[in-house]
Amino acid sequence: MAKHKTPLLDQLESGPWPSFVSDMKQEAEARVKNVKGLDYQTPVEVVDDLLGLLELSFVDGTTHWKHGGIVGVFGYGGGVIGRYCDQPEKFPGVAHFHTMRVNQPGGKFYTTAYLKEICDLWDLRGSGLTNMHGSTGDIVLLGTTTPQLEEIFFELTHKMNQDLGGSGSNLRTPSDCVGSARCEYACYDTQALCYALTMEYQDELHRPAFPYKFKFKFDGCPNCCVASIARSDMSFIGTWKDDIRIDQQAVAAYIGGELKPNAGAHSGRDWGKFDIQKEVIGRCPTECMWMDGKTLKIDNRECTRCMHCINVMPRALRIGNDRGLSILVGAKAPILDGAQMGSLLVPFISVEDPYDEIKEVIEGIWDWWMEEGKNRERLGELIKRQGFQKMLEAVNIKPMAQHVKEPRSNPYIFWKEEEVEGGWTRDVKEYRKHHLR
Amino acid sequence: MAFISTGYQPDKPMENRITDIGPKHFDDFYPPVIKANKGKWLYHEILEPGVLVHVSETGDEVYTVRAGGARLMSVTHIREICEIADKHCGGYLRFTTRNNIEFMVDSKDKVKALKADLESRKFPGGSFKFPVGGTGAGITNIVHTQGWIHCHTPATDASGTVKATMDAVFNDFKTMRLPAHLRISMACCLNMCGAVHCSDIAILGYHRKPPMLDHEYLDKMCEIPLAIAACPTAAIKPSKIEMEDGTKVNSVAVNNDRCMFCGNCYTMCPAMPLSDKEGDGIVLMAGGKVSNRLSAPKFSKVVVAFLPNETPRWPKMTKVITQMIEAYAKDARKYERLGEWAERIGWERFFDKCEIEFTHHLIDDFRDPAYYTWRQTTQFKF
């Protein structure tokens, strides 16, 4: 029997999409039944009370979570989000309802053995509710009490060889796409780089020393499945420098209709016979493709690697062999000064363990941002405030035409004194000898 | 409840402490077929909605069955996922960036039973536990934030709006009839824990009333200079307030006309709450994308300035979302993302075709970038 009546939430149990309400109810029931006979370390009614509290929000249209609360584990400044309910008497089970962020594995691959360990831990010491996963990528363990935090951390580190993720003004938990583990488009091993940098920067991840949050995301190709270009201060996107590999027989098979275009992605509608001219060559944004008789030609030097032709004909066209990644910087959501997309900083960098060249760029950016950034100023906002050139100087990267979509349309150049012959110190008396007042 | 100690000693926190060990190594979690073929994949194909095959140069194949799910997930539900993965997939699975669960098998003959098993499982209320789909030119799962379930700044709920929307667009999760893939994202306040600002359709929670001022506690709970500095429009200034009992307290004053309701002050100062039943609701944005395919990544644009929080199913919101999807499905060319379609036909035509009213709220007036969104040409459509 449910502890609270939830007539509004109950209406979210119908419909085909998986109902989080039904799932919460099954967890609430499981805790009451307690078939394993656990000595729950958080209140048995935690999920029941969360349902009741959420129903209240559905009635009064406002949240019932208090602002923040500083809790954590010893020596770390992140990974735990303190949360207290503002109606603790009505809903004692969620009076304290802290979240722990657990650093997810690369590509979000799991063994069931590991997930079951997480479940057992969270059954006993938490609410039994999680997010798989949070927006940044962590396994989010929702809802526990302060005395449990160290116990959970001890269990994670000692028994599961598993650390917490980031929160606050630090390096947030880096995340990656499926990459070369299961994708033919991956231009580098996103999981290897993500793991290596996560390990290299454990201190930055756990102990907030930055002006604000800082996000790394790793996309294996310009399709950007983890949206790094839109939401990471530093976005690592796979690319290549040489020629797209062409299998002319497969091109002919696409033209002939033997191979399904778009890897079958458009098969839910009859779009007519595949037309390579209209769908691929005519859509190429740089117009660098053409048919020479039955042979597909690409002027690779003019290609900007948008992925369209490869996405349409994955069995005929493949990414090049001279692979690396581009680094873009400064992406963020609108708060505060408006949204920013990542801006290209390094067009091409090779990806080779131990990734020293990449680390050099990262650390150069951090040094500049930690020196110049204001409290709660994201990297993108600092770049806007001080200018792109300042960043290039700080990280010692040579300006190039690839850095801009177009050159400036105003001549208000901040010339430096050393750039101007003779400098700026002049003798006005000498000047007046030739120019009367 | 008897406290169960793990061995941690609160008086000696550093004893046997293990820190900075990072995540588990991905190698420990790869299914054998992935481990053997990493970096060797030749091509992939979507065999039917929700079912993919990847073929390796070694000749190996991996079949993936993708199932949707709520990202708010109980351990009971995760154990059920594990049971399925143990039964069909040798104890391995993965999650996608967009909260889908992927079950992988190494031969085609294992797909049918896996898919049938997934689709047979339902919650008592009737919803699918593991609907198969979310691939190709359709709509996949919605990335979203916490909402009323666990956050202190939301202007709407996340799980509820997502459930209502996915129910409304479920057919497009199960099919691939659209001109291109369509990504819906949800963020319950302007902080946008997810990347909703670059989505084909974005659902955003927004406040519309300036902060209330809890003068009695403001100076005790907040660093007043930080609250003032937090305001992007300089609408907050220090003030002295005389309380009813005659005591004077340091507090702040807000110039309400300058407030754009971002809530950044509340982030810095808990004594300045914004949330309000009538004030809070939904902004709908459209036309963004993150992929570099064909055109550059784009921001989503505000197309509906406000819709009320109609719990539990937000019918006005889902109605506008389906109007946009249907207009796009009918009118866009193959491969055109929603934003590319809107740009080709012109945004004035977008509002016609989607039957959305254009209001003054949709004209940008926030700082310099606003100018670049006004029309500086005589080319427009009647």
Counting beta carbons within 10 angstroms of the beta carbon of residue A408, is it exposed (0 to 12), middle (13 to 18) or buried (19 or more)? exposed
The DSSP letter of residue B110 is G
Contact status, residue B311 vs residue B282, Cβ threshold 8 Å: no
- Restricting to A residues 81-110, those with a Cβ less than 8 Å away from any Cβ of B are 83, 97, 99, 103-110
For residue B170, give Cα distances in angstroms to B140, B142, B285.
9, 11, 20
> In this prediction, does ipTM exceed 0.85?
yes
Show which of residues 75-104 on chain B sit within 8 Å of chain A, judged by CB atoms.
75-79, 81-82, 85-86, 91-97, 99, 101, 104
Report pLDDT for A335. Answer: 83
CB contact under 8 A, B163 and A20: yes
**pLDDT of A1 strictly over 80:** no
Q: What pLDDT, on the 0 to 100 scale, is given for residue B192?
A: 86
Contact criterion met (CB below 8 Å) for A373 and A379: yes
CB B147 within 8 A of CB A237: no
Contacts of B54 in chain A (CB under 8 A): 182-184
User: Hey, are the CB atoms on A225 and B21 less than 8 Å from each other?
Assistant: no
Q: Give the closest of B149, B196, B292 to A54, CB-based.
A: B149
Look at A18 and B70 and tell me if their CB atoms are within 8 Å.
yes
pLDDT in tens, B262-282: 999 999 999 999 999 999 999
Instruction: Give A73-113 pLDDT, tens digit per residue.
Output: 999 999 999 999 999 999 999 999 999 999 999 999 999 99
Report yes or no: B34 and B58 within 8 Å, Cβ to Cβ.
no
- Provide the edge-to-edge strand list for the sheet that holds B61-67: A109-111, B92-95, B101-105, B61-67, B51-56, B41-48
Which residue has 């982030």 as its token pair?
B267
DSSP string across B32-86: HHHHHHTT-EEEEEEEETTEEEEEETTS-EEEEEEE---SEEEHHHHHHHHHHHH
Over residues B69-95, the pLDDT tens digits come to 999 999 999 999 999 999 999 999 999
**% of chain A with per-residue pLDDT over 90:** 97
Give pLDDT tens digits for B178-232: 999 999 999 999 888 877 999 999 999 999 999 999 999 999 999 999 999 999 9
**A204, pLDDT greater than 80:** yes
Q: Please name the amino acid found at residue B346.
A: G
pLDDT of residue A68: 73
For residues A60-83, average pLDDT: 93
Determine contact, residues B54/B61, Cβ cutoff 8 Å.
yes
Query: Contact at 8 Å (CB) between A23 and B326?
Result: no
Inter-chain CB proximity A65 and B151 less than 8 Å: yes
What are the CA-CA distances from residue B241 to residues A21, B217, B231, B253, B271 (Å)? Answer: 45, 12, 20, 9, 14
| Alpha helix stretches (DSSP H) within A139-217 | 146-159, 190-200, 202-206
Q: Residue with structure tokens 């009323």?
A: B148
- Partner-chain contact A128 B76, CB within 8 Å: yes
- Whole-angstrom Cα distance, residue B19 to residue B37? 33
Q: State the Cα–Cα distance between residues B283 and B267, nearest whole angstrom.
A: 20
**A56, A111, A170, best to mutate vs chain B, most B CBs in 10 Å:** A111
Nearest residue on chain A to B84, judged by CA atoms? Answer: A112
Tokens of A300: 């690779």
Q: What is the mean pLDDT of chain A?
A: 96
A128 touches chain B (CB under 8 A): yes
Estimate the share of chain A in helix, then strand, then coil, as percent rounded to the nearest 5.
Answer: 35, 15, 45
pLDDT digits (tens, 9 = 90+) for B7-23: 999 999 999 999 999 99
What is the average pLDDT across A182-189? Answer: 98
Residue in A145, A149, A115 with CA at minimum distance from that of residue A132? A115
Is the CB of A265 less than 8 angstroms away from the CB of B137?
Answer: yes
HSE of B126, CA atoms in CB hemisphere, 13 A: 8
pLDDT at B90: 98
Which stretches of A314-409 are assigned E, i.e. beta strand? Answer: 317-318, 323-329, 343-349
Residue in A closest to B370 by C-alpha = A338
Neighboring chain A residues of B76 at a CB cutoff of 8 Å: 23, 26-27, 30, 128
Which token pair is B63? Answer: 């079949």
> What's the mean pLDDT in A164-179?
96
Cβ neighbours of residue B182 closer than 8 Å, sequence gap 6 or more: B138, B139, B172, B200, B201, B325, B328, B337, B338
What is the C-alpha to C-alpha distance for residues A5 and A14, in angstroms, rounded to an integer? 17
* Residue in A16, A157, A285 closest to B21 by CB: A157
Mean pLDDT of A163-181: 97
By the CB < 8 Å criterion, does B171 face chain A? no
Whole-number pLDDT of residue B10: 93
Q: Is the pLDDT of residue B237 over 90?
A: yes
Helices (H), B89-212: 111-120, 159-168, 170-174
Backbone angles phi, psi at A155, to 5 degrees: -65, -45
- A312: closest CA among A396, A236, A254? A254
What strand order describes the sheet that includes B281-286? B184-187, B201-206, B281-286, B301-308
Sequence-distant (6+) residues with CB within 8 A of B262 are A335, A336, B190, B232
| CA–CA min distance B231, chain A (Å) | 9
Burial of A435 (0-12, 13-18, 19+ CB in 10 A): exposed
The widest CA-to-CA distance across chain B, in whole angstroms, is 83
Mean pLDDT of chain B: 96
**Which residue type, as a one-letter code, is found at position A55?**
E
Q: Does residue A322 belong to the interface with chain B, where contact is any CB pair within 8 Å? A: no
Whether residue B352 has pLDDT greater than 80 = yes
CA A240 to centroid of chain Cα atoms: 22
- What is residue A420's predicted lDDT score, i.e. its pLDDT? 96
Check residue A334 and give its pLDDT.
86
B285 pairs with which residues across the strands?
Answer: B202, B302
Q: What is the pLDDT of residues A368-403, one digit of tens each?
A: 999 999 999 999 999 999 999 999 999 999 999 999
Taking the C-alpha atoms of residue A166 and residue A174, their distance in angstroms, rounded to an integer, is 9
Task: Report d(CA A93, CA A42) in Å as an integer.
Answer: 8
Closest chain A CA to residue B62: A182
- Nearest-5° Cα angle at A404, A401 to A406: 95
Residue of chain A whose Cα is closest to the Cα of B162? A17
- Label residues B181-205 b or e (16+ Cβ within 10 Å = b): bbbbbbbbbbbbbbbbbbbbbbbbb
pLDDT, tens digit, 9 for 90 and up, residues B15-64: 999 999 999 999 999 999 999 999 999 999 999 999 999 999 999 999 99
A283 pLDDT exceeds 90? yes
